[in-house]
Amino acid sequence: MEKIVLLGGGGHCKSCIDVIEQEEKYDIIGILDQPSSVGETIFGYDIIGADIDIEKYVKYGCNFLVTVGQITSPLLRKNIFSKLKSESAKLATIISPRAYLSKHAMVGVGTILMHDSLVNAGAILGENCIINSKALIEHDVTVEDHCHISTSAVVNGGVTIREGTFFGSNAVSKEYVESMSDGFIKAGSVFKGEL
């Protein structure tokens, strides 16, 4: 298995670990988080350093995944992802064995499809996205970079979710609408466009 380093040791990291373990494609060698957390463990995986150590693990040929969550702002995920790209890091794309990804859909690097997510034909997912548990991405949807489609969200056909948008749990979109960049779509809402 290829080696992978995770960036961010919070709650989202725990969910990512579970998906990575079940995918059985990568061997997690450790987590980079705050310097004060070095030496702690998450599910048996050590926090082995901080962002400053990225270059060292790039030289070892490791893959990387941003495992910081995203609710109020995509900024931290964007910044970490940009740093990885500037270091020419190998960016993993993680797909749960319990997810469905149409062979006619596309997924960018650094994106994770969590358990029971469904990505239908013609969908295009950008880089560094979270498609969370039980999220439904319907046909011909475009999800741009750095978006979080949250648990049990439904993004209906032809919708465009612009860069950096958070699409809340159990929110449902109308068909063929578009969000603003860095949009925030509340949990449980009906999304009719913009925001």
CATH code of the domain in which 117 resides:
2.160.10.10
Are 78 and 100 part of one and the same domain?
no
CA torsion angle for 133, 136, 139, 140 (degrees, to 10)? -70
Q: Which residue has the tokens 């449902």?
A: 172
How many other C-beta atoms can be found within 10 angstroms of the C-beta atom of residue 29?
16
Are 175 and 110 part of one and the same domain?
yes
Task: Tell me if 154 sits within 8 A of 171, measured CB to CB.
Answer: yes
Are 108 and 118 part of one and the same domain?
yes
5-39 confidence digits (pLDDT tens) = 999 999 999 999 999 999 999 999 999 999 999 99
Kindly report the pTM of this predicted structure: 0.96
Across the chain, mean pLDDT equals: 97
CATH code of the domain in which 35 resides:
3.40.50.20
Q: Which of 64, 92, 120 is the last residue of a domain?
A: 92
Are 87 and 112 part of one and the same domain?
no
Are 85 and 110 part of one and the same domain?
no
Q: Which of 92, 117, 147 is the last residue of a domain?
A: 92
pLDDT of the residue at 54 = 96
Distance CA 29, CA 7 (A): 12
Are 49 and 78 part of one and the same domain?
yes
Are 112 and 188 part of one and the same domain?
yes
Q: What's the number of CA atoms in the CB half-sphere (13 Å) around residue 31?
A: 26
pLDDT surpassing 80 at residue 134:
yes
pLDDT surpassing 90 at residue 174:
yes
Distance CA 154, CA 38 (A): 38
Domain that holds residue 153: 94-195
Instruction: Give how many domains the chain has, as a whole number.
Output: 2
What are the tokens at 55?
């270059």
Are 39 and 119 part of one and the same domain?
no
